[in-house]
Amino acid sequence: MQLFPKLTVGLLNGWIFLLVYGIIFGGVVKSFPKDVVARLYDTSNWTPVQKTFTRVCKVFGLIIFVLVALTPLSVETFAFWLGSAIFVLGMIGVVIALFDFRHTPADRPATQGLYKISRNPQWVMLVLVFLGTCIAVGSWTACLFWGISVVCAHFRILAEEGACLAQYGDAYRDYMRQIPRYFVFF
């Protein structure tokens, strides 16, 4: 791992991870009915402050994308293989969580599959996807920006949970009492 690896345009760069993520995530979401996609990205119950904060936080995500895309991969390092394994684990989890969400009726909160152990399994798994990516490219700088984006994601999650409370009421409140926000230890 390097503090700030030399950034170059190349065929064997971190953009490969971003491409795999984009194809899998985009393909899964594109296969969903439009009403499910609309629910997935619904911000109608968010406050203007929450929407603005989320936009600002996306800047950190963009920085990570640029750093990752321009960082050459060192496939012979332990960091590459460790990061790749974390990336794969996260991608599998994201796909499972998305399908768990898809099969939830619109008038009820998602509570099946991975949603039985976390109220936010999509976010938890996305955190793993991008942690794995940052480790695989061997950049401490990318990991730093990843950490900042995780903090930002927490505030987005709070907004999403507030919207779920407004939409589902007591059903979501009961769910919140039973299931931790992230996993057992949170």
114 lies in some domain:
yes
Q: What is the pLDDT of residue 26?
A: 94
Q: What is the pLDDT of residue 45?
A: 77
Q: What is the mean pLDDT of each run of 10 residues along the chain (186 residues)?
A: 83 93 95 89 81 83 91 93 97 96 89 92 93 94 90 85 87 91 70
4 lies in some domain:
no
Provide the number of structural domains found in the chain.
1
> Who contacts 66 (Cβ-Cβ below 8 Å, separation ≥6)?
none
Q: Other C-beta atoms within 10 Å of 183: how many? A: 14
Domain span holding position 180: 75-186
CA–CA separation, 90 and 87 (whole Å):
5
Q: What is the pLDDT of residue 185?
A: 56
CA angle 68, 124, 144 (to 5 degrees): 40
**Is the whole-model pTM more than 0.75?**
yes
20 lies in some domain:
no
Q: What is the pLDDT of residue 84?
A: 97
172 lies in some domain:
yes
CA–CA separation, 132 and 83 (whole Å):
4
128 lies in some domain:
yes
45 lies in some domain:
no
104 lies in some domain:
yes
163 lies in some domain:
yes
Q: Other C-beta atoms within 10 Å of 31: how many? A: 12
